[in-house]
A and B are shown apart, each in its own frame.
Chain A
Amino acid sequence: MPTSAAEVVFDKATKLYPGRPEPAVDDLSLTVPAGEICVLVGPSGSGKTTALKLVNRLIYLTEGEIRIDGTKIYDLDVTELRRSIGYVIQQVGLFPHMTVEANVGTVPRLLGWPKQRIRERSAELLELVGLDPAQDGARYPAQLSGGQQQRVGLARALAANPPLMLMDEPFGAIDPIVRARLQDEFLRLQQELRKTVLFVTHDIDEAIKIGDRIAIFRQGGKLAQYDTPEAILRRPIDDFVAEFVGADRALKALALRTLGELELGPPRDGPRATKDTTLRDALALLIDEHADIVAVTDADGAVVGSVTRDDLLQ
């Protein structure tokens, strides 16, 4: 079973629809390194979902090519290609006539795994996404909450241990509190699994939180900027990107780093914050407390250093 992640390369990929002058995806070239999460983000009609569906050939590529680990996707059998890619969509698309366990076992079943192995794999995955294999596995999708359904959708996509995952606004239809939890759990999973992930969202905050790299699309299916979240926030390439990431991009950039990543000054008095507090939250604390210095503590609450307001804003 291939467990290593795959590198994905878009090479001048273009999607034209007959009768439409503007391409849906225009001359897209980008490389997603193996094991990284690349978030495709942009306003509606910018071609981000189209770009995603080009990869598993749900949408036919007009020009250029896409390679997974060096192999052109059109050199592969389409069903084999798709079975080797995990696919998660916003509406989940669980099979309502199958139990949760059967849903999770879908791709292994298509691949002809022995029954016992499929059962074990389903149970393992349900546990991984925080569901109870014995209890939830026997239920039907209609009996689950939206958040639980999306967990099952994720487990189903992971079932055959694909080196590449395509996720199309997977948390888009879920309320903000559950969404934040699912994002955290997904990142925790990714720490462990190290898949290559292409992740579509229209939510720039989600992109910043989830992405190792972000590809920002503009109208007409054009790639505006492809970079790390920090680089996009600090150095937006043009007005479109600057506006898209928001006027508060400086604050968002602060949220990407924690106090522990700064060089700390000697321990001093002030409102306390732990090392894993983000710079943004530390700044908010200073504003709240009318203070200039944060006393940085370790997990046990012992003061280990300090950070000044100027340090935060550098």
Chain B
Amino acid sequence: MIVAAQFSPGTFVDAIHFMGNHAGLLLSKTGEHLELSGVALAIALVLALPLGLWLGHRHRGFLFAASVANVGRALPSLVLIAFGLTVLGIGFWNNTAALVVLAVPPILTNAYFAIDNIDRDVVEAARGMGFTERQILTRVELPLGLPLVVAGIRIAAIFVIATATIAAVAGGGGLGEIIVNQASYGLAGVVAASLCVSALAFLAALLLALVLRAASPRQGPAT
């Protein structure tokens, strides 16, 4: 009979030991985790970012953008993975699809509202001076809306990295495989893998925060 180990402060010490002893395993699982998250995020970006930016530029599709946000929030990823099992089978693409569905809403809605909310007078001045529609988007709207756009990507990245953990239930690999398999890796392994997930999510958030800071438009101190 397996008795679930009780958590104690000592577990963290055990987890650190686990990391030292199984560095190779954790590294390869972290690699899988990153690959799954990265591919899902990249697909979501390709799907959602241009669409959100363009809809925002045209000030069209408010209902669409808002609905995507709500549907995205209402769909549990685990349900999607279970459903995907019947369509895509076990493995990488089933999990990727579920994570894409998770990542699209924050990217799309943030991109939409970032651009939609840019001061209309600024945009009209640009149009009246002879910017093409593409130049308006890339030189005026995108720089001004960038903080909100990047914030959406950051939310999506954190969601995806955290949720990629459950991919293990459908053979998707990643750090989740350790977390759902306490029988093999013990509580120390579960905690070690969890810490790795947290660290990944934190690093992704940090990285995007730095990107945001580097890319934010300077507007000078307000008077």
A259 to B144, CA, bound (A): 54
Which one of B53-61, B184-192, B215-223 contacts A?
B215-223
Contact with A along B122-149 (1 / 0, CB 8 A): 1111111111100100001001100000
Which A residues between 70 and 114 are near B, CB-CB below 8 angstroms? 79-85, 87, 89, 91-97, 106-107, 110
Question: Which of B130, B131, B132 has the most CB atoms of chain A within a 10 A radius of its CB?
Answer: B130
A56 at the interface (CB under 8 A from B): yes
Find out whether the CB atom of B121 lies under 8 angstroms from the CB atom of A92.
yes
Find out whether the CB atom of B130 lies under 8 angstroms from the CB atom of A58.
no
A139 to B221, CA, bound (A): 10
A237 to B123, CA, bound (A): 39
Which A residues between 103 and 129 are near B, CB-CB below 8 angstroms? 106-107, 110
Q: Measured between C-beta atoms, what is the minimum distance from B68 to chain A in Å?
A: 28
Find out whether the CB atom of B126 lies under 8 angstroms from the CB atom of A97.
no
- Chain A positions within 8 Å of B223 at CB level: 142-145
Find out whether the CB atom of A96 lies under 8 angstroms from the CB atom of B130.
no
A140 at the interface (CB under 8 A from B): yes
| Of the residues B121, B126, B220, contact of A139 by C-beta under 8 Å | B220
Find out whether the CB atom of A110 lies under 8 angstroms from the CB atom of B222.
no
- Chain A positions within 8 Å of B123 at CB level: 93
- Chain A positions within 8 Å of B126 at CB level: 93, 95
User: How many of chain B's residues touch chain A, expressed as a range?
Assistant: 20 to 34
Count of chain A residues with a beta carbon within 8 Å of a chain B beta carbon? 32
B139 and chain A: residue at smallest CB distance: A95
A141 to B126, CA, bound (A): 15
Q: Measured between C-beta atoms, what is the minimum distance from B170 to chain A in Å?
A: 45
Q: Measured between C-beta atoms, what is the minimum distance from B148 to chain A in Å?
A: 14
Q: A95-B122, A96-B144, A97-B144 are in contact. Are A142 and B128 (CB under 8 A)?
A: no
Q: Measured between C-beta atoms, what is the minimum distance from B120 to chain A in Å?
A: 9
B135 and chain A: residue at smallest CB distance: A110
Find out whether the CB atom of B219 lies under 8 angstroms from the CB atom of A94.
no
B118 and chain A: residue at smallest CB distance: A96
Q: Measured between C-beta atoms, what is the minimum distance from A56 to chain B in Å?
A: 6
A91 to B222, CA, bound (A): 17
| Of the residues B131, B135, B217, B221, contact of A97 by C-beta under 8 Å | B217
Which A residues between 130 and 150 are near B, CB-CB below 8 angstroms? 139-145
- Chain B positions within 8 Å of A97 at CB level: 143-144, 217-219
- Chain B positions within 8 Å of A94 at CB level: 122, 125
A159 and chain B: residue at smallest CB distance: B129
- Chain B positions within 8 Å of A87 at CB level: 125, 128-129
Q: Measured between C-beta atoms, what is the minimum distance from A28 to chain B in Å?
A: 20
Find out whether the CB atom of B217 lies under 8 angstroms from the CB atom of A83.
no
- Chain B positions within 8 Å of A79 at CB level: 130-132
Q: A96-B144, A142-B223 are in contact. Are A82 and B129 (CB under 8 A)?
A: yes
Q: Measured between C-beta atoms, what is the minimum distance from A145 to chain B in Å?
A: 8
- Chain B positions within 8 Å of A93 at CB level: 119, 121-126
Contact with B along A42-66 (1 / 0, CB 8 A): 0000000000000010100000000
Q: Measured between C-beta atoms, what is the minimum distance from A74 to chain B in Å?
A: 16
- Chain A positions within 8 Å of B218 at CB level: 97, 140
A110 to B223, CA, bound (A): 30
A110 to B128, CA, bound (A): 13
The 3 A-B residue pairs with the shortest CB-CB distance, nearest first, are: A93-B125, A97-B217, A140-B220
> Which A residues have a C-beta under 8 Å from some C-beta of B?
56, 58, 79-85, 87, 89, 91-97, 106-107, 110, 139-145, 153, 156-157, 166
4 additional contacts (CB under 8 A) given A106-B129, A142-B222: A91-B121, A97-B143, A97-B218, A97-B219
List 19 contacting pairs A-B, 8 Å CB cutoff, sorted by A.
A58-B127, A79-B132, A81-B130, A87-B125, A87-B129, A93-B126, A94-B122, A96-B122, A97-B218, A107-B129, A139-B220, A141-B219, A142-B220, A142-B221, A142-B222, A142-B223, A143-B221, A143-B223, A153-B125
